[in-house]
Structure 1
């Protein structure tokens, strides 16, 4: 029973080809390209509105040197949002439930923000390791603690995304299995469980969108500290 619950998080294969590659390409295949027409359709208009609103919201508190990151952050947002939502459909796979993939996204982006800070403003970046007014005996301890917290940031990004999506998928599978098991025992109880399953699915859709936004928002905060 335990293995059957966690089998949904293993990467499926078809004819020896890992379907995780197909799942990672799907957000870009479904995302329409810009049109040269004077009157674009509703999908492209919604896409343009979303990108403008998201870019304005993310870049508003940042300094001008960070504006070049708007395309990167928007791409990461679209990628994570598409994968998280598509993973909720039946007979699909969610790559962001894999910690290795999330670390592969979080570590390079976090490292880029740190290197930008060390290159453009090394004094300010290193000053984050030691708060102002720290007593002299606590300086070595605080430097060690701040350094550890700095290197934990990408791990926290990846683990947060993985844990939230994994927990939601497990709850959906557990409640759906319980609904089928209770159906032959009590129809009213099975109906109540099914309503709970629908509410949980709606909640999981919200979690999928929120976690993609939180991932990008934290990256923008790290970038703001180093620009």
Structure 2
């Protein structure tokens, strides 16, 4: 009776191989490698990427008094890039392919820069409306054009990111749905094309997040 009672705690009772050490090995999978090797190669790679982005954004931010601003734009780049990459996995919704998501990012950014610029540097904002060396007869038209271009900036940021995410994902989906009706030879070609498209979409995910963060940095540098 005692043997039967304590046999419920033995994993080999219901399986053909021992699972005594499985729970201990799971810890090595859950705990990240950076806790075992400091700095790990993944940690070193991520630090290198962050330093590279910091140097890029530091050049664009001309005002040296705003130290630490690069952290915000680096975090923005990381957030958009991870959302773009998540959309490449099967059955995962790509949030960055909808205007609700992209406008939520671009509109508050542009609005905060716009309000800060007009309240803090009003003269500079008026100077941006008139390009240097423009003829006087064209000044009213240039002010209208520059004003329109300023107001459509959040829309262009959002639409650019959304359109690039939708285009690639739509092409991958359409090609994937046609695979069931193809022959074996064409199916092998389709798999190669799909792999190439996934590599291309991975590059697009990085490039579009970089473009979004770079343009946001440029918009912020104009009001300082």
| TM-score, normalised via structure 2 length | 0.78
For 1:22, the equivalent position in structure 2 comes to: none
**Contact residue 107 and residue 154 of structure 1 kept, 8 A:** yes
Q: Which moved more, 1:210-219 or 1:106-115?
A: 106-115
Give the C-alpha shift of residue 189 in structure 1. Answer: 1.7
| 1:168 partner SS | helix
Distance 1:94 1:148 in 2: 30
Counterpart pick for 1:207 among 199, 204, 209: 204
Give 3-state SS (helix, strand or coil) of 1:67's partner: coil
Cα deviation per residue 1:140-167 (whole Å; 9 max; x = unaligned)?
2211111000011110000000000001
Q: Please name the residue that 1:21 is paired with.
A: none
Does 2:20 correspond to 1:42?
no
C-alpha distance after superposition, 1:87-123 (max 9, x if no partner): 1101111111110110110011112222332233221
- Asked if the contact 1:99/1:159 (under 8 Å) is kept, the reply is yes
| 1:159 match | 159
Which structure 2 residues correspond to residues 40-119 of structure 1 after superposition, within 5 A?
A: 40-63=39-62, 64-119=64-119
Does the CA-based 8 Å contact 1:121-1:226 persist in structure 2? yes
- The equivalent residue for 2:19 is none
Contact 2:116/2:223, CA 8 A, preserved across alignment: yes
Distance 1:127 1:173, change over 3 A: same
Residue of structure 1 aligned with 2:218, choices 217, 221, 227:
221
Identify which range, 152-161 or 37-46, moves more after superposition.
37-46
| Residue number in structure 1 paired with 2:184 | 187
Tell me how far apart the structure 1 counterparts of residues 121 and 56 of structure 2 sit (CA, whole Å). 25
Please, which runs of 5 or more residues in structure 2 have no aligned partner?
1-30
**In the alignment, which residue of structure 1 is the partner of 2:127?**
127
CA distance in 2, matches of 1:38, 1:145: 56
**SS in structure 1 of the partner of residue 152 of structure 2:** helix
| Paired residues of 1:96 and 1:102 also in contact (CA < 8 A) | yes
Q: Determine if contact 1:114/1:226 at 8 Å carries over to the other structure.
A: yes
Q: Structure 1 residues 127-136 or 84-93, which shifts more?
A: 127-136
Shift of 1:56: 1.4
Q: Secondary structure at the match of 1:156?
A: helix
CA distance in 1, matches of 2:111, 2:132: 25
Q: Distance in 2 between matches of 1:111 and 1:131?
A: 22
Give the TM-score normalised by the residue count of structure 1.
0.77
Q: Is the 8 A contact 1:73 1:216 kept in 2?
A: yes
Over alpha carbons, which structure has the higher Rg?
Answer: 2
Residue-pair matches, total = 192
